[in-house]
Structure 1
Amino acid sequence: MEQGNAVEQLYFICHGELEEIGICEDGSEETVSILKPDSSFGEVSILCNVPQPYTVRVCELCRLLRIDKQSFSNILEIYFHDGRKILNNLVESRATDERLKQLETDVTLHIGKHEAELALRVNSAAYYGDLYQLKSLIRAGADPNKKDYDGRTPLHLAASKGYEDITLFLIQEGVELNVLDNFANTPLLEAIKYGHDKVASLLVKEGATLKIDDAGCFLCATVARGDIDYIKRILSNGIDPNSKDFDFRTPLHVAASQGSYIIVKLLVEAGASVLSKDRWGNTPLDEGRMTGNKMLIKLLEETKSAQLSELPEGSQEITDKMHPRKCIVYPFHPWERKENTTFGVVVWIPRTIDELIKVSAELLKLDVHPTSCIVTEDAGKILDVDMIIDGQKLYLISE
């Protein structure tokens, strides 16, 4: 067997003696090692797909066993997990040989490729529900927590496909339950997303939690899509219905602004607060009133009354002081605003509409009449201060 040639057979020495010879740059020869019975040669070239590193010569009459490369590769394909053991043994056997240490990089690189392929096989078995293959790979040393290119573990894949048996097996193997993939998804979220309730229950029972980065934005986006079944599942698995997005809007704000009675009812039943205010001081009730959905408005008003009744006395006054709202009041009819250049006044919104009329009239130096009222830009009469949005333009007129 000549140095630099492609090798197609792996040889095992049963009897006799051979020598490995290295050819130096100047053409001289140097004995690298003596191969005795129970030794082998050709394995480096076959396992690492590199040319034969040394010339092998017979020193005396020998008896050899050989196996061709394709047959050996087929065996490793069947017993894939044994390939890593063979490669490790190869590295260890070469570690004490100075001339052969240069091959360690090639072997280590091949081990890395082997591990990547092993992880792919484990994840593939989990994805396609092949419990037998998965067990054989993991019990042969494969890491059940190994991630793929998207950061997904076998548990992510099994949960997303709804495989109860594989999920249970992986849990018994002690895999991490709350691991995140590259998209910040946990196995539990994958199970919930695809409607696999039994797998989700199994994960929760074993200690999995619905860990979501930026839960407010996530839940608001989910509500905006209107996926009712998905919303039910994530609410039932512990997500906070009062999570807020970057504008301090809750899922109830979004559902109310879309006029979605079913989702609003779902969120309210899950404990969503009607009193929560966004960046602009709007509550879900404010959003609901703008839609004109009477059933929705009635539900939110009833919920508001119920939630206020549960608060200690004086809590609403404290809330109003912490989050005061203001409005702009003009002393003319909204239909005259294009022709009228009179300045308005900015006032803090008081507790009642009568107080707002009185304060505005005093600041605008107007007389208060029994018919005085506050209207919107569309000439809609304001009956309750809760109808007013923070910063809204209003008009003080007499009917």
Structure 2
Amino acid sequence: MLFTLIAKQMKMLIRNKQPLIILLVMPLVLITILSNALGSIMDSGEEAAIQANLLIVDNSSWAQEEKAIKLFLEQEGVNGPPLEAMLIQFKSSDPVELLNGTILASDEMKKYIAVDYKKYVDLKVARQDENIDGILNIPTNFRLDYVKSAYFNNTNLPDLSLYLNQDNEIRASIIESVLTDWQTGYTQSAALLSADLSPQEIMSNVTSVEKLEQTLEANERKIPASIYYTVGMLVMFALYIPAFLAGFALQEVQWKVYDRILLAGVSPILYTLSIFFTGTFVAFIQQVMMLLFGMFVLGIEWISLEAMVVIIVSYSVFVGALSALMTTLQFRTKTEGIANVFNGLFITVFSFLGGSFFNIRDISETLGKIGDFTPNGATMSAILSIQKGQDLSVIWPFMLAIYVLVVVCVLLSIVFFPRRGVAE
């Protein structure tokens, strides 16, 4: 009997042109238009799309430490012109200046790392700033300790503290890659000097940019407009399915078809289950067709198909649960008001927050996080994360949000389902 009810719902969808146009034709048209119209704008900015924010906290400076360095050299027996020459050499070899003025100042590096240079920052406060991907803390007397270790064979190397924001592993890896090269350069200064090589010459030619590009190539795939808008329209138009199914169910009530179904011995729970499975099935078919359209028409190469199946099935289950809830609410109110409000307001708001129109995080990171708690936003973030080449584990928080909403929809369907029938 359940399959018979599902087949009946499918026939009603197929026989109505409006649902087919909205659920299948409109998203494909919009994907094509948006991909072509906005593709050049979106794709041209991909090089700067992954930019890490680095805060350098320098608790000292060469001007502050020069006196202490000079005193140390005098204690080592260096005086007169040799002392002045060494001070000039040490100043030109200042690792912090080399990092800021040479490595991070290059045009190639600026595409990947935005640097903010400050003194005496409260690290506890700075580490809580979600806009900062990494903090390099340079301690007091760093330059004096560096001179002692690099030029006078002191075994105590100056300590640096690097704090990375683990919420964004890719941006953190960008910072770590560059600073690892830099640190390797200054810790090997003594060996370079003994070989008559200047530290600044070696450290200014580090291969950070090359390694950085290799890291990005291995860890993150760039998302073109075709992928972004295919996913955006996929999650958006699936939300129209519950309103159509709930509208058909209300028509059956008004036409007394629902009463005849009950007289035939079909329980209301079984009828609601048929709506749930129909919504799930239609959403799955709709999403598969849109992904195939992207593959064969737009030339998209979808990666990690196993993860994609998990995400699509989960979102389809949510659409089915929402279909059951909206059917229940329309049975309760005996009007199409619920579906009209949902189509006119909620889908627009959810699509905006979920990023179907554009990346909401470009406006506000807070709105982006709110969008991740919407079902379409969670699904879109999960798919885009997978298509960037990230591990399967990244999708589980998004899947948890979706299934929490599934449980909420099911429970509300049970609570609000009318116990005394829905006859006019």
- Please report the TM-score for the alignment, with normalisation by the length of structure 2: 0.22
| Structure that is richer in strand per residue | 1
| Structure with bigger RCO (C-alpha 8 Å, 6+ apart) | 2
| Structure that is richer in helix per residue | 2
